[in-house]
Amino acid sequence: MIPVVDAHVHIFPPDIVRSRAAYCERDRWFGLLYGNPRARLVTAEELANSMEEAGINISIAAGFPWADSGLCAYHNDYLAEASRASGGRIAWLATVVPHHRSAPAEAVRSFAAGACGIGELNADAQGFDWSEPDQLTEMVEVCRAAGRPIMAHVSEPLGHDYPGKGTAWPQRFVRFLERFPEIVVVAAHWGGGLPFYELMPEVAAVTRNLVYDSAASTYLYRFSVFRVVVDLVGVERVLFASDFPVLKQGRFLERVRRESGLTEQELVLVLSENARRVYRLTLPSERDAR
């Protein structure tokens, strides 16, 4: 069986889960997404149970794009401890307020604690603009020095509205890629449709270090998106990602295996090898064999 890495999930400290209403008051974007009590918030333990049921080897957990740097640090501490307790089955991305003076130091601290990247950064939630990339320079330089990627929320300029969609559209996000072409970046949610613009040579020229994840696919596109994007940009630039608990890991994984139109060789890359390369991950079984 092909090892599986889910490259984009979200978990929260128990206190945030218990005190949802208080955090909705404290952070505008959190309130937008989680003011509805039916919007699921899960802890590391619930993620571990889901992984066990779905047969997922590693999940890459992000926190939340808080606008408060103190909340970012609090959430990062929880993610670091969850990763340690999981024996590495839960990898994690550190959240920072990327244009805040605290971002470089928090990124350094998080990498020292085991973070495999930075993300999920969200311009609407955190009050920055991808089309003004110079304000993010110091944070990017820390990631470049550490050889770690940035994962970004990118959304579609067309289509239906939904909580948390925002305005981080490809035409804005591409300015960040133009400014920092060397850094590896993961564009969540299929990059808001950006891979379809890679048919334009000038767009393809600035996306060579960009990778796309499939988070929340079934809310956004027909399932043929896997085959289409792989054919457009290459199989090495697509990551399997559920956005759990938005999507159920097991159900989504089975649909990708059955309905994506990818060959077995392509599935090896999309389900595992690409994420392991981008985020520099080692499977727990490989560590145990040493």
Residue 171 is part of a domain; what is its CATH number?
3.20.20.140
What value does the mean pLDDT take over residues 91-120?
Answer: 98
What is each CA distance from 43 to 1, 12, 16, 82, 264, in whole angstroms? 27, 5, 9, 9, 33
Looking at residue 284, its pLDDT comes to 74
Q: How confident is the model at residue 287 (pLDDT cuts 50, 70, 90)?
A: low
Q: Could you tell me if 148 and 119 are in contact, meaning their C-beta atoms sit under 8 angstroms apart?
A: no
More confident residue, 191 or 283: 191
Average pLDDT score over the chain: 96
Q: What is the pLDDT of residue 162?
A: 85
Percent composition of the chain: helix, strand, coil (DSSP 3-state, to 5): 50, 10, 40
Summarize pLDDT for 216-232 with one digit per residue, the tens.
999 999 999 999 999 99
3 state DSSP class of 253: helix
Distances from the Cα of 141 to the Cαs of 117, 183, 209, 211, 226, in angstroms? 13, 9, 16, 19, 32
Average pLDDT over residues 50-78: 98
Classified as helix, coil or strand, 121 is strand
Confidence of residue 248 (pLDDT cuts 50, 70, 90): very high
E strands, 17-62, are 58-62
Q: How far is CA 104 from the centre of its chain?
A: 19
Q: What is the DSSP string of 52-119?
A: HHHT-SEEEEE----SSHHHHHHHHHHHHHHHHHTTTSEEEEE---TTSTTHHHHHHHHHHTT--EEE
Q: Is residue 45 scored above 70 in pLDDT?
A: yes
Neighbours of 234 (CB within 10 A): 12
How many helices (H) and strands (E) the chain has is answered by 16, 8
Locus of tokens 């990062």: 76
- What is the model's pLDDT at position 91? 98
Q: How confident is the model at residue 1 (pLDDT cuts 50, 70, 90)?
A: confident
> What integer pLDDT is reported at residue 270 of this predicted model?
98
Tell me, what's the pLDDT at 105?
Answer: 98
User: What is the rounded CA–CA span in Å between residue 239 and residue 55?
Assistant: 17
Domain hosting residue 175, numbered range? 5-288
pLDDT higher than 60, residue 290: no
Tell me, what amino acid is at 187?
A
User: What average pLDDT does the segment 63-72 reach?
Assistant: 98
| Confidence class for position 153, pLDDT limits 50, 70, 90 | very high
pLDDT at 232: 97
pLDDT, one tens digit per residue, over 184-212 is: 999 999 999 999 999 999 999 999 999 99
> Between 228 and 161, where is the model more confident?
228
Is residue 283 over pLDDT 90?
no
- Domain count across the chain: 1
Say what the pLDDT of residue 163 is: 85
